[in-house]
Amino acid sequence: IDTPIAFDASGLSKGQLYINGRNVSRYFVSVGAKAVPPQSVYLIPRPLLRAKQPNELLIFDEGGASPTKCRMLYV
Q: Which of 16, 11, 22 is nearest to 59 (CA)?
A: 16
- Coil, helix or strand at residue 37: coil
pTM of the full predicted structure? 0.82
Average pLDDT of the segment spanning 53-61: 95
Q: In the predicted model, is pLDDT for residue 56 greater than 70?
A: yes
Q: What share of the chain is helix, strand, coil (3-state, %, to 5)?
A: 10, 45, 45
Interval 22-50: pLDDT, tens: 999 998 887 666 767 768 899 999 999 99
Distance CA 12, CA 30 (A): 7
Cβ neighbours, 10 Å, residue 12: 26
Binned at pLDDT 50, 70 and 90, residue 75 comes out as confident
Q: Which of 22, 17, 9, 15 is nearest to 48 (CA)?
A: 22
